[in-house]
Amino acid sequence: MIALTLTEIAAAVDGALHLAATDATGDTVVSGPVTTDSREVEPGGVFVAKPGEFDDGHRFAPSAVERGAALLVVEHPLDLPVPQVVVADSVQALGALATEVVARVRAKGRLKVVGVTGSNGKTTTKNLLRGILERAGVTVASRKSFNNEVGGPVTMLEVTDETEFLVAEMGASGVGEIARLVRMARPDVGIVLKVGLAHAGEFGGIEQTVRAKSEMVTDLLPTDVAVLNADDPRVVPMARVTPARVVWFGLGEQADVRATDLVVHARGTEFTVNAPGEASVRVRFGVLGEHHVMNALAATAAALELGVPLAAIAEALGEVTLAERWRMQVMGGRDGITVINDAYNASPDSMAAALKTLAQVQQPGTRTIAVLGEMSELGEFSGEEHDRIGLLAVRLGISQLVVVGPGARRLHISTVNEGSWDGESAYVETADEAYDLVVSMVRPGDTVLVKSSNAAGLRLLGDRLGEWFA
């Protein structure tokens, strides 16, 4: 975090400064990292005590002090010998502090902010942008999937006076949440990747999901840029609700930044990037799957708007071998066996994309095995979407399906009911059963996909299979 006095911090978060039993004054400067996790506190840092669903961060304040916290942001005073700012709501205070810090850095004229949202691909696109922009200047980007009301501002608070680019991943489980993050960071470039059924159950339907994702671009300024997916019929209408200049990305001819001549193989994807005023460039992208090309195009469009040459962007993309752990992560290798671990998350769109990639990389004379778990948070759409994925697996000619867990059982039933298969789908209750079954059935040259929502826990199954066939 940038250096601020205790008085400035208290004013930014509308809190009361408590200095009893300390040697500090209102002019004492704090500049250490800000966190809500006492285990991550560094000497001179700020600990925000956040009440949680199952626990209360105030209980861990003594541990934060032991680790060297210079300031506590709390909802009630604690009997601890460290300065404290007492606020009504610590999460709101965290956001207010992030807003202040970003505004101060932006006022110096160096910082450019990119916001990224969408039902799928946020973390991948954020990571690609970080890899591209780091070559051009000091870059701060969200760690892991830090994209909510806590992770978002924690990331923003990492900016310093030297930061040139902030890439802020912005997720939501309801209307209004992205708008709050946008107001904190004030993006110069806002990206909307795709609007699908991921978390539709939480949002209350696809219309509410569209409304929430559009918050990325509705408050942009006319001098800002909205980077929109030209291939998504739910994203295209957002051009009508943003005052910003629109730049389109996609595979179709209507896109400003588009990919042509795609080739998908077991170790990555190759494509040609075309952009206005730029010579076309061939990219050898080490991330598996045609759907990740769209993320690369979104990152490319944003980076071009920030002044990065297309040749430099292509070079950066060519050095990416893994978008993120558990996202189309290629493992294995023994006896020509490939394991694709894509079980960090799953929506109908990403599940379909992963299955299509599995079918695309199949070599003649080899088999494909899909180990699939539940797609969670789909609400009323859950049953029909699991049915649809089961039918897709059949129609793509996937050699063998292993369905794991009660939440995904309907997927198995739909494949059996399709009638064109005879025993190619197996159902097991647990990941351990799935592991034993897959190990027993795999043959040299097979490609195994492991895909599920995070809650299903199959990412660890993917790791086990990858290690076994390493």
- Binding-site residues, please? 118-124
Q: Report the DSSP pairing between strands 257-265 and 268-274.
A: antiparallel
Instruction: Give 439's contacts (C-beta < 8 A, 6+ positions apart).
Output: 465, 468
Instruction: Please report the DSSP string for 99-143 in residue order.
Output: HHHHHHHHTTT--EEEEEE-SS-HHHHHHHHHHHHTTTS-EEE-S
**Tokens read off for 189:** 């470039």
Please give the Cα distance from 77 to 17 (Å, whole number): 10
CB distance 266 to 358 below 8 Å: no
Task: Give backbone dihedrals phi and psi of 58, rounded to 5 degrees, phi first.
Answer: -60, -30
Write out the binding residues for ATP. 118-124
Q: How far is CA 314 from CA 127, 257, 270, 275, in A?
A: 15, 13, 11, 12
Enumerate helices (H) and strands (E) in the chain, giving the number of each.
Answer: 15, 22
Report helix angle 348-361 to 382-395, nearest 10: 10
Determine if residue 397 is left, alpha or beta; phi over 0 gives left, psi from -120 to 50 gives alpha, anything else beta.
Answer: left
CB distance 326 to 344 below 8 Å: yes
CB distance 183 to 95 below 8 Å: no
Please give the Cα distance from 470 to 459 (Å, whole number): 16
Instruction: Give 251's contacts (C-beta < 8 A, 6+ positions apart).
Output: 231, 258, 259, 260, 262, 293, 294
| Residues counted in the chain | 470
